[in-house]
Structure 1
């Protein structure tokens, strides 16, 4: 197994468009065949697949500083970057690859790219001056300029493609070592803007961004992840169903325009009452809103711990005709805990084991607060457990 992560060539580190690194990686990595890309469906019928844990939580255990985040390339960035975890794929690739390696060795079948906020819209929070600081406001005109910003477009593409290639390399390395195929999920997270709600209580009809603008941001992300050789696309931590709808439309358009097809996974974040966090849909309403996509899987992640997730996961499993995923937070936030959350690895293993005993899941893992040690415990607890049964012919991309 390699001890160092493969880095993009020097031209990329000087800030040239990341699209120019694609040819190099085409020569290094072999494109999975269509049957390989879709063999994850078969795995989900045979056993409970393990998805990895929290990238952000695990990054914090490495003690990175603002200077580590910036590196030489971003040393003059105008804002603090330390919370921009996706950027570590470019400035600290060895750390990110080590995290992927640790999750894979811990037992993860599916490893997510470090691209949760890798759209131009999300990255603008770290690189563009906020007009509200000078009496202005963010609005569709502002975000149109963001979408036309070459630096942000190139940065978003680079983060997505490089992050995917890092995952691809280590998924293949570990699979080569132990003979078990691993899968790379292109992580597509929520945005810092909402299509469902107005930020202005005095103007409830106002939206800072349009549906088409969100769709365009997600199309670039989707194309870059596919260029990075992901096996599936994961639209996750959905708290605004309309934002998610824009992501799903973007994915479908890319598939149709580029003549490519990958499985799509979908996962929502729900509150204590079981509603999506901003659009306030019930679990059933959420499923009805996304079922037309015919996803490989649908599930719940983040926002709540496994104890609170159980009844909502049960409801989703009763409604959905596809694979079910669950990767909850490690309980409630706890500033005194090394991970920032309450539950230890053995606690998560027990709760996820209960999900399996009740026939609720096909994919299991952890979100915030879940380290490689948590994933190892979950993988051990679920080994040999039967997956939830569902109709294979109804699942997956159309």
Structure 2
């Protein structure tokens, strides 16, 4: 028998603004890892460069990943994200499968069918997701017990390296390199592995293509129904200067209308522009959605001369996020690209004591166990 209950994070969101962690990739770079470090013994013979495959560090450098989780928790994070932004067969194929375009071919549904059926990629994607979830779970439980303050784990599900909405071929606008069902299959495998690793929520994030996100949400629903499990779902989009999702070009309101039926625990904006340019779009979403609102922007725009690669330091992010809070716009706050544990610590301190956005219109989120 399963019993339905309101998720404990919902009660927290009614009384204070919850803090989500910062950028795993940015923080990894501060450790000075090399190609040899990410390969380790296991992947030493890989034919392609792996250093940009940050998810792989969960397998080859688990102590570093654990240290990053610890630092974000000590900075004040209530929610840890798993190191699984690109942990699908489709995304991992970029690092382990020869690109047919280098030989006069192209990536098409036949290519990606082989990818999602590839035993090596299937096993690798599962292992990254489950391992990363367990690493987060271990640190969240450890620090939660030590501090007497519960910490939560969000299974991070990223946007993929392919688009269902746009053609990669300017001369063939009807062409799609991948099908909806192929994307759904990859996401379903990721969701199952994250659940097996013990996450509290599934977070579909950095959405630039709403159709990709739709495939992820359909996959999650099917996994829940088939496996008899139910977890809260969090949704977060990336928008451009006009406030539209970057590829599918849905406005903020249209995006909410497209995902409202999921009844997510939260919906929000992340990555994208810096917080200085995100305000009007966050304000619109906050006015339309009847669930918790999350916001974890980039630390400004990219700047190769900055130590983190982005313009804003901890004090800047703290100021902007506190402005959002004072305007009554947010329930969950943190940082995306360019945000280190020091940024999250500054944000957490600045938001301490500030009231969260009212959740009076939000429906209770239930989870079955």
**Does TM, scored on the shorter chain, surpass 0.5?**
yes
Aligned mates of 2:366, 2:270 — CA distance in 1? 21
Partner of 1:162: 131
Selected match of 2:353 from 374, 384, 389: 384
1:297 touches 1:395 (CA, 8 Å); kept in 2?
no
1:53 touches 1:370 (CA, 8 Å); kept in 2?
yes
Selected match of 1:126 from 95, 100, 104: 95
CA deviations over 1:19-42 (Å, ceiling 9, x no partner): xxxxxxxxxxxxxx9779811111
Q: Superposition pairs for residues 217-228 of structure 1, below 5 Å?
A: 217-228=186-197
Aligned mates of 2:275, 2:204 — CA distance in 1? 20
Q: Which runs of 5+ in 1 are unaligned?
A: 1-32
Aligned mates of 2:338, 2:79 — CA distance in 1? 18
Partner of 2:25: 56
Q: Superposition pairs for residues 2-13 of structure 1, below 5 Å?
A: none
Aligned residues: 366
**Residue 303 (1) aligns with residue 276 (2):** no
CA deviations over 1:162-188 (Å, ceiling 9, x no partner): 000000000011011110000000000
Q: Superposition pairs for residues 264-275 of structure 1, below 5 Å?
A: 264-275=233-244
CA deviations over 1:62-85 (Å, ceiling 9, x no partner): 000000000000000110000000
**Residue 365 (1) aligns with residue 334 (2):** yes
Partner of 1:87: 56
**Residue 75 (1) aligns with residue 50 (2):** no
- Normalising by structure 2, we get a TM-score of 0.97
Aligned mates of 1:199, 1:45 — CA distance in 2? 44
Selected match of 2:344 from 360, 365, 375: 375
Pair 1:396–1:35, CA change in 2 (3 A):
closer
Q: Which runs of 5+ in 2 are unaligned?
A: none
1:296 touches 1:397 (CA, 8 Å); kept in 2?
no
Secondary structure of 1:394's counterpart equals coil
Partner of 2:254: 285
Deviation at 1:201, TM superposition (A): 1.0
2:290 touches 2:362 (CA, 8 Å); kept in 1?
no
1:219 touches 1:247 (CA, 8 Å); kept in 2?
yes
Selected match of 1:241 from 186, 210, 221: 210
Aligned mates of 1:206, 1:358 — CA distance in 2? 44
- Normalising by structure 1, we get a TM-score of 0.90
Secondary structure of 2:80's counterpart equals strand
